[in-house]
Amino acid sequence: MLAQEIYEKLKAEFGDAIIEFKQEPFFDPFVQVAPEKLFDISLYLRDTPELDFDYLSLLGGMDYKENLGVVYHLYSIKLKHSFILKVTVSKDNPVVPSVERIWRSADWHEREAYDMFGIRFEGHHNLIRILCPYDWEGFPLRKDYVQPDEYHGMKVPY
């Protein structure tokens, strides 16, 4: 199914929660959704037979300078089509509902996004750092991140 058709289906089902649909050259078409409705939209995308997005390829945090975002790349193994969801949240209170209960692969991806960007996923069963040490401070992939001088007495910049 084409991204345009999926967007129309979502728009009919969720209305205002679907903020915009963007189809431009050099961009894979994507749909921007409201973070509050993300869980329901994801569940709908997975459980509707003609959409059947059972496979979460990639979940990645983003830093859009004024706010943070999360990008979801979905794929359907049976129907062989893909789709992109995006949410944006403010830097002051970056909370996104967790989709870990829908796609278990989101578990580690969400922990990574939390580790790198400080995006908190509400409903995640174990949201702790994954790649950085557990007591690391700051979120390295944010654009305004300042590297600490030392970590437990070890010099960080090499």
Partner 1 sequence: MSETKRIEFEYSQIDSERMRLNVGPQHPSTHGVLRLEVELDGEIVTEVVPHIGYLHRCFEKHCEKMTYPQVIPYIDRMDYISAMNNEWPYVMGIEKLMGIEIPEKVEYIRLIFAELNRIANHQIAIATFGLDAGAFTPFLYLFRDREFILSIFEKASGGRLLYNYFWVGGLAADVHKEFKQDVLAIVKQVRETNKEIADLLLYNKIFIERVANVGILPADVAINYGCSGPVVRGSGLAFDLRKDAPYSFYDRFDFDVITGHGEVGTVGDCFDRNIVRFHEMEQSCRIIEQAIEQMPMEGDVREKLPKKIRPPKGEIYTKAENPKGELGFYIVSNGTDKPERIKSRGTSFVNLSVLPEISKGYLFADLIMILGSIDIVLGEVDR
Residue ranges that bind partner 1, judged by CB under 8 A: 24-28, 54-58, 60, 62-63, 71, 73, 77, 80, 84, 103-105, 107-109, 116, 129-133, 140-141
Q: 38 phi and psi, to 5 degrees? A: -60, -40
Q: How far is the CB of 16 from partner 1 (least distance, A)?
A: 25
Q: How far is the CB of 42 from partner 1 (least distance, A)?
A: 13
Judged by beta carbon, residue 9 or residue 81, the one nearer partner 1 is 81
Residue 59 CA neighbour count, 13 Å, CB half: 25
Contacts of 51 (CB under 8 A, 6+ apart): 1, 6, 9, 44, 45, 76, 79, 83
Environment class of 126 (CB within 10 Å of its CB; exposed 0-12, middle 13-18, buried 19+)? exposed
Judged by beta carbon, residue 133 or residue 153, the one nearer partner 1 is 133
Environment class of 141 (CB within 10 Å of its CB; exposed 0-12, middle 13-18, buried 19+)? middle
Judged by beta carbon, residue 14 or residue 102, the one nearer partner 1 is 102
Q: What is the distance between the alpha carbons of residues 119 and 132, in angstroms, rounded to a whole number?
A: 15
Q: How far is the CB of 55 from partner 1 (least distance, A)?
A: 6
Judged by beta carbon, residue 9 or residue 73, the one nearer partner 1 is 73
Q: How far is the CB of 115 from partner 1 (least distance, A)?
A: 9
Judged by beta carbon, residue 21 or residue 55, the one nearer partner 1 is 55
Q: How far is the CB of 25 from partner 1 (least distance, A)?
A: 7
Q: What is the distance between the alpha carbons of residues 93 and 9, in angstroms, rounded to a whole number?
A: 30
